[in-house]
Amino acid sequence: MRSKLIAGNWKMNTSWEEAKSLFNSVNEFPSNNKSMAVCVPACYLAGLCPAHPNLSVFAQDCSAHEKGAFTGEISAAMLASLGVKGSLVGHSERRQYHNETSELLKRKVDQLLANKLTAIYCIGETLEERNNELHFATVTKQIEEVIGHLSSTQMKNIVIAYEPVWAIGTGVTASNDQAQEMHAHIRSFLKTTFGEVANDIQILYGGSMNAANAQALLACEDVDGGLIGGASLKVADFEFIYNA
């Protein structure tokens, strides 16, 4: 049986004082049957680890390289040495603004797994792709190209986050039916590729999830949690979603 995971992606927000205050508040939410994670700016990782057992700290990105002369990069081994649980990989903002390709993302996933970390692998179609009915093909290709080479054992350290690009930061959320339909498609493709382990892989929904829509989205059979941007910066909203 899959447990639910509520993950906040702070993106490039908060001062260090704000980050500590937000983190301490989240760290004190009375625990329920869901797990929680926060994906925080890299410069705050060392100061925020470790969290209590129900809250994991994640990075938002990591290097595709193991180590060496790569100025400005942060390796998966460095994240592991801090007690970080893992990292987001392939967020659409990184694909779009930093031209991250499938080939690069595949190497990032490999680095994380080699260091026994979890990759939250983000996938999702643009509005144009959805309007042209290419949304299923797009996410299938994103899975095939970046994690298709993994073994079913390695897939135990992968969380999928389906984030339709048109829903991120726009206030437009996928309908419950659209989310369930896509999550079922993803699980069915994972089953074909990796077998029964697909039943245990968490598939999160992301894109304008908030206190008003979280409960209905999280009630969908194949929605195993949320990856929350804007609403994760507001303590009351994030707590409401965690309890939804």
Cβ proximity to ligand 13P: between 32 and 170 the closer is: 170
Q: How far is the CB of 148 from ligand 13P (least distance, A)?
A: 22
128 is catalytic: no
Measuring CA to CA, how many Å separate 107 from each of 58, 76, 78, 114, 199? 18, 11, 16, 10, 25
Contacts of 174 (CB under 8 A, 6+ apart): 164, 167, 182, 205, 207, 217
65 is catalytic: no
Select the residue whose beta carbon is closest to ligand 13P and give its number: 229
Q: How far is the CB of 153 from ligand 13P (least distance, A)?
A: 27
Q: How far is the CB of 206 from ligand 13P (least distance, A)?
A: 4
Cβ proximity to ligand 13P: between 62 and 209 the closer is: 209
* 155 contacts 195 by C-beta, under 8 angstroms: no
Would you state the structure tokens that stand for residue 6, as one six-digit string?
Answer: 């509520």
- Compute the distance between CA of residue 119 and CA of residue 157 in angstroms, rounded to an integer: 6
* 160 contacts 144 by C-beta, under 8 angstroms: no
Other C-beta atoms closer than 10 Å to the C-beta of 26 total 21
* 54 contacts 35 by C-beta, under 8 angstroms: yes
Cβ proximity to ligand 13P: between 194 and 228 the closer is: 228
Strand partners, 120: 88, 159
Catalytic site residue from 93, 100, 163, 239: 163
Residues found near ligand 13P in the complex (CB under 6 A): 9, 91, 163, 168-169, 206-209, 227-231
Cβ proximity to ligand 13P: between 100 and 163 the closer is: 163
Single-letter residue type at 59: A
Cβ proximity to ligand 13P: between 194 and 218 the closer is: 218
Q: How far is the CB of 241 from ligand 13P (least distance, A)?
A: 10
Catalytic site residue from 91, 129, 135, 239: 91
- Residues marked active site are found at 91, 163
